[in-house]
Amino acid sequence: MPVTTAALSRDPRAGFHIEPVVVDDPRAHEILVRVEAAGICHTDLVSRAAGSDERPVLLGHEGAGTVAAVGSEVTGVRPGDRVVLTFRHCGACRNCRLGRPAYCAQSVRLNQFGARPDRTPRVTAAGKPVRDGFFGQSSLAGYALSTPDNTVVVPPGTDLAVAAPLGCGFQTGAGAVLNVLRPEPDSTLVIFGAGAVGLAGLLAALTLPDTRVIVVETAAARRDTALELGAVAALDPGTVDVSAAIGELTAGGATHALDTTGRPDVLATAVGVLGVGGAAAAVGLGAGIPPIDVRDLVLSGKSIHGCLEGDSIPARFIPELLALHAAGRLPLDRLVRTYPHTDIDRALADQRAGHIVKPVLTWATV
């Protein structure tokens, strides 16, 4: 049972605590991963704030590292493999069989702090159980226990700091573009929100032939980043009429739109800026009802797609994205800044201040 350090949440209103924890040895269907990098996603922070009274909580769902040990019934993953950890799925329900594991019928049970069947703890701190099992990994620690369905083997030379966010954030943005919207040549995509998800979508769109990207973002630093990465325009919704500006830039409306904000009014704007036959994808987990003109939706043949985890099959899609990165076509490294895991609060402060796009925590290799 390895002893390591973890970023634990003991109070949703306070910062993280770096504490020693003990991670159990893998059971028959489990995989023990020595975590080398773990992205911090907005979902981690929301889940910390909305967590139950069970404390401490161990979050993290963008882990990457090296397999240390596998259970007796694990096949296809071996000690020494480099892996990216992602969301869990049952593999047996209708949606899983149809190749849409993000919509697994057992998703909540498997991903929202799912416990072992016998309720024995996987992680303990000072001898007491830690609430873990977030996305089947809880990877804000030097070791994590995963299962074959959320463990993706990647090439030996993979930069795990770049690969880790493919477990969720980068996979979501890139997948929304490549798997759901699928712009054809001579397309214009408008991305609302230039955080890690939106900028991953931008980079994914630029791997496609003759696809232009317009970004709508309130933060000046992120608008600058979008332009540096290849956006043809970056609009500040606080100072310009976004609909009018996009109308001028596209001569009739965009072909595609991606909303990463989760705000109903922004999704309505995203649909509104589409031209005839345009398609919008929504990936932000917001709340509320968007004020969408149904007459315009029908008469213009527009479509709206909800999209979770990039609508991807991670075991196939993550290696595809890594191959694009290795070929120099998907420079996700430009979105990442690494921090020692002991500096988690500084990483979050830098992200809130807009100094960085995607913070990735690192644990020293042994």
Residue 62, token pair as written in the block: 């963008």
In a domain, 79, yes or no: yes
Q: What's the confidence (pLDDT) of residue 354? A: 87
Is the domain of 8 the same as that of 151?
yes
Question: How many folded domains does the chain comprise?
Answer: 2
Report yes or no: 197 and 260 within 8 Å, Cβ to Cβ. Answer: yes
Report d(CA 19, CA 124) in Å as an integer: 11
DSSP state of 141: B
Tell me how many degrees the CA angle 277-298-248 measures, rounded to the nearest 5.
50
Q: Which residues of 320-338 are buried (b: 16+ CB within 10 A; e: fewer)?
A: ebbebbeeeebebeebbbb
Residue 192: closest CA among 131, 128, 258: 258
Do 297 and 340 reside in the same domain of the chain? no
Specify whether the CB–CB gap between 53 and 123 falls below 8 A: no
pLDDT of residue 117: 86
The identity of residue 113, as a single letter, is F
d(CA 104, CA 176): 18
Residue 180, pLDDT score: 98
Q: Is residue 273 a part of any domain in this protein?
A: yes
110 and 89 Cβ atoms separated by less than 8 Å: yes
Question: Are residues 101 and 212 both part of a single domain?
Answer: no
My answer on whether 154 and 178 are in the same domain is no
The verdict on residue 182 lying in a domain is yes
Over its length of 366 residues, how does the chain's per-residue pLDDT go in tens digits? 889 999 999 888 888 999 999 999 999 999 999 999 999 988 888 887 765 667 799 999 999 999 999 999 999 999 999 999 999 999 999 999 999 999 999 999 999 998 888 889 999 999 999 999 999 999 999 999 999 999 999 999 999 999 999 999 999 999 999 999 999 999 999 999 999 999 999 999 999 999 999 999 999 999 999 999 999 999 999 999 999 999 999 988 999 999 999 999 999 999 999 999 999 999 998 889 999 999 999 999 999 999 999 999 999 999 999 999 999 999 999 999 999 999 999 999 999 888 999 999 999 854
Are residue 348 and residue 234 in the same domain, yes or no?
A: no
Q: Same structural domain for residues 145 and 195?
A: no
Count CB-CB contacts under 10 A for residue 203. 25
Residue identified by tokens 């232009």 is 212
Asked whether residue 110 falls in the same domain as residue 209, the answer is no
Residues 119 and 183 in one domain: no
Contact at 8 Å (CB) between 181 and 258? Answer: yes
Task: With respect to residue 47, please indicate whether it lies within any of the assigned structural domains.
Answer: yes
Q: Which domain holds residue 267?
A: 173-308
What are the CA-CA distances from residue 46 to residues 50, 146, 279 (Å)? 6, 22, 29
| Domain CATH code at residue 207 | 3.40.50.720
Q: Which two tokens stand for residue 28?
A: 């028959």
Q: 181 with 35, same domain?
A: no
What's the CATH number where 65 sits? 3.90.180.10
Does 314 fall in a domain? no
- In angstroms, the CA 117 to CA 201 distance is 38
Answer yes or no: is 320 within a domain.
Answer: no
Judge contact between 25 and 63, C-beta under 8 A: no
Note whether 160 and 81 are within 8 A (CB).
no
Q: Would you put residue 319 in left (φ > 0), alpha (ψ -120 to 50) or beta?
A: alpha
pTM above 0.75, yes or no: yes
Rounded-to-integer distance, Cα 152 and Cα 310, Å:
16
